[in-house]
Every structure is written in structure tokens, then in C-alpha cells.
Homo-oligomer: A and B are copies of this chain.
Amino acid sequence: VSEQPPTLRSLADLRAVIDRLPGPDRDAAAKAAAREPTLTKPPHSLGRLEELSAWLATWQGRHPPTVQRIATWIFAGNHGVAARRVSAFPADVTAQMVANFEAGGAAVNQVCRAVGADLYVDAIDLEQPTADITTAPALSEAEFMAAVRRGEAATRAPVDLLCLGEMGIGNTTVAAALAHGVFGGDATAWTGPGTGLDDSGIARKAAVVATAVATHRAWADDPLELMRRLGGRELAAIAGAVLGARLRRIPVVLDGFICTMAVAPLVRLRDDVLDHCAFGHVSSEPGHRRILDLLGRRPILDLDMRLGEGSGAVLAAAVIKAAAACHAGMATFADAGVSNRGAE
């Protein structure tokens, strides 16, 4: 795949890119389906590992699929709404954690090292928080698209698998607002403790979420407008990375609630837009299980994690790597001289 960078100057450009995204590679999928039953194991006994290797082939567009080069990108952004005391941590922590990623001291650094993934961090205009979404659009169209392009740019290096993560004090509030704005339901059902709010903090946060969605209710039927108005730079970048990866046939592993909400609105525009994405884990932030259920998607891991940073995505990449290794590396019944079933 040699893909020129798409034009991404306006929401209309973004809509056009979504319309022309490539579909599954049915030839690679057929080859994976043909090889799987020849491998030395009972049929389907590797369970979801078999699904994951077929998914990899389908969206890498080649067979056998490979997972040698795993890139993890963390996008960071700051949020005006953080001033409304919606986080247990001060907004300064966004930049401090970016420094921690760069110095190798965060959880995701250790997980990347354990799994064998490269880590890249893109801190987007941290000194310029988004507007407070309870009173104004988070970003102008130009600001939003600039962040989308930052994400798209992260997909230009050839990798086998792209793990996405985020950092941004206040961004579970933003994710809850997007969920409530795009998918409806009650604001409280989408609002959780984030980094560790107590019950009164969660109630305050839910009120902020409800107010934000009410402020922008005139755009309730326009997912891209809601992404600009209720989102943030790191969420826009994640959306850009997911679309860029699809254009370049790079399967993606999404992380938790924020990462999922950065792209979930896109399914309103195109049903299959996230088919090249795996959901690495289900976060203990309660909105995440809810949105996964709505999307009809099952996470790979369920480990009560709720850290963000891409930590759950990278950990799931270890499972995906093993799935690819089994599919590509196992002996067939014929090669190994193992009797196949049917001896009864």
C-alpha cells in the first residue's frame, strides 16, 4: 500500500476520507481461513486467537499476518473543562506525565518494554487547553483538523500493529459528554470516577456532562461536529490515527473509554469504520463496558485496569502477537505427521 496523505483540512474532507476507506482484504481472509484447520490442534481450540489472526490477515491485507513491529502512540491534550473540578488530579499532571513517558517512568513504558513495542508520545498544544465545553465548542474546526492531521501523521511509518492511548486531565469528562451526546442515555450512566473522584465528585462531573451536551444539542445529529465541540485534541488525533491506519492497512488496538469514545461517533457515519480496530481491554471506568456493548464488540482483556496511556492496548498486543505467531508458525498435521481427528 502506497498511500498519499489524505487531504484533511475540513470536516467535509474528513467525511470524504471516511467514505472512501478501504474494506476488508477478502483474499487474505480466505487464505487464513484455509490454513487454520490444517494446523496441529483440534478445530477452534485456540478460540479468540484464531479470530485475531484472521482479523490481522484481513486488515493487514496479507497472509500470513505478522506482528514484528508494534508501535504505540500516546496523544496528550489539555481540557478547559478541567477547571470545573472534574478530576482528582490537577491539569498540570498532563504535562508532567508526558515528561514521565519521555523519561521512561510511566506504566506504559514498562508494558511496552515487556511486550516489545515502540512508544511515541505526541503532546498537542498542552499550553493551550480546549475551551470549556459547558459554554463553548472545545475546538475550532481548524484546531480540530490540525489535531486530526497529527494523528494521521503517526500512521505514515510502516508498522504491523498500532496501539493507541491518551493522556489528558479531564478527558473522561469529555469522553462521557461525547457518549451522552452521540449515543444518548442518561449522563450519569456514562460518568465514572476517572482518576478517582468520590461520589460527590462524580455527581458534579455528571452535571457538567449534561450541561455540555445541552449546550451543543443543536448538533446532536452530526457526529463530526460533536467530536469537535465536545472532544479534545488527543481524541481528534486518535480519530485521525484510526483513519490513517485504515488507509495504510495497519490494524489498530484501542485502549479504554477515552480512546474508544474518540472514534465511536464515526460508526454513525459508516458501520464498518472500526472493523480494523481491536478493543484491547475493557476498562473499569463504567462507560467503557457500556459503549463496547453498544458497539457489539468484545474486548480482549478484562483486568480492572483504568489507567489509559494505552496500557491496556499494549498488553492486548501481546495476545495478538501470540495469535499471529501461532497461525504463521505452527506445523500442519501433514508436516508434523500428527494424526488428524476422525479415528472413531
Residues of A bordering B, CB below 8 Å: 39-49, 85, 88-90, 92-93, 96-97, 99-100, 103, 105-107, 109-111, 113-115, 195-196, 201, 284, 300-307, 311, 315, 318-319, 321-322, 325-326, 328-331, 335-344
In the bound assembly, the distance between CA atoms of A100 and B330 in angstroms comes to: 9
**Contacts A47-B284, A97-B338, A311-B46 given; does A110 touch B305 at CB 8 Å:** no
Q: Are B100 and A338 in contact (CB under 8 A)?
A: yes
Contacts of A41 in B (CB 8 A): 106-107, 307
- Chain B residue nearest to A324 (CB atoms) is B114
- Chain B residue nearest to A302 (CB atoms) is B302
Q: A46-B107, A48-B305, A110-B328 are in contact. List 20 more A-B contacts (CB 8 A).
A: A40-B106, A41-B107, A41-B307, A45-B195, A45-B307, A46-B311, A47-B306, A48-B304, A49-B305, A89-B339, A89-B340, A89-B341, A105-B331, A106-B331, A109-B330, A114-B325, A115-B322, A195-B341, A302-B302, A303-B319
Q: List 21 A-B contacts (CB under 8 A).
A: A40-B100, A41-B107, A41-B307, A42-B88, A42-B307, A44-B304, A48-B305, A49-B303, A88-B341, A89-B339, A89-B341, A89-B343, A90-B343, A93-B339, A96-B339, A97-B338, A105-B329, A110-B329, A196-B341, A301-B301, A303-B319
